[in-house]
Structure formats: structure tokens, C-alpha cells
Amino acid sequence: LRKLSAGTAKLLRGHEDTLEHLQVLRYAENQHYDAHRDYWDPREFPDVPRFRNQEGFWHMRHATLLWYLAAPDAGGETWFPRAHGGPIPYNEWMACDSRGAKVSPANATAVLFYNLRADGNID
């Protein structure tokens, strides 16, 4: 995990002490991670205290880096429905259809995506 943390900091051109704790997942057959966003839209959650830090600012994940440590024999894609400028797929989070883009896992690879623009606004 230390090597992954160091590699993540290097790819993001940041410091390890500014990263969130790594989350390691291992899926059994037919398991999945529900589609979601790695930011909170204040228009959808205007008064939810758990999305704010101690200073009252929104806790936003600026970027997300997914490491694929082992590729499954089949499946395992990560779906990005808004790639290429698509709309948010409200009520269709499990669709995994042809909208956007899919990334297939390969051993020891990673995919980086930004959740916010450089100015801090939601992308």
C-alpha cells in the first residue's frame, strides 16, 4: 500500500499527506460497485452536514485514481457515462450502456479522472 500511495502522489503531482486513505476492493464473481460521483453537488445536497469539513467548506474529491491490481477473466469495466460531455445519468446509474466510455482493467494499470475543474467547480 505504501508503494501505491507513493505512486498515486507522483501521478497526481502532489504530496502523500494530502491524499485520502487508499480504499482497496476485491470483488468476487458478480459483485460490483454501484455507479456514483466522487463529488457532492450542493444543489442536490444543500444542507447535509456530512459533506462539509470542520471549516464549513464542501469536502470535494478533486481527482480520483483507480489502480487495477489484477484483471478478471471477463468483465470488470469501469463506466464513465459523462465522458465526452454527456449528461448526468439520473436514475440510470446501473445502465453501463454505450454512453460515455468504459475502461477495461489490466494488471498494474491505473485510470485518472478529475471530478472538479481547476477552478474548483464541478466538472
Q: How many CB atoms lie within 10 A of CB 69?
A: 13
Percent of the residues in the chain that have a pLDDT greater than 70, as a whole number:
99
The angle formed by the CA atoms of residues 10, 16 and 20, to the nearest 5 degrees, is: 115
- List pLDDT tens digits, range 28-48: 888 887 777 787 777 777 777
- Average pLDDT (94-98) is 83
**DSSP, res 10:** H
pTM: 0.78
pLDDT at 5: 92
Closest C-alpha among 59, 65, 45 to residue 120: 59
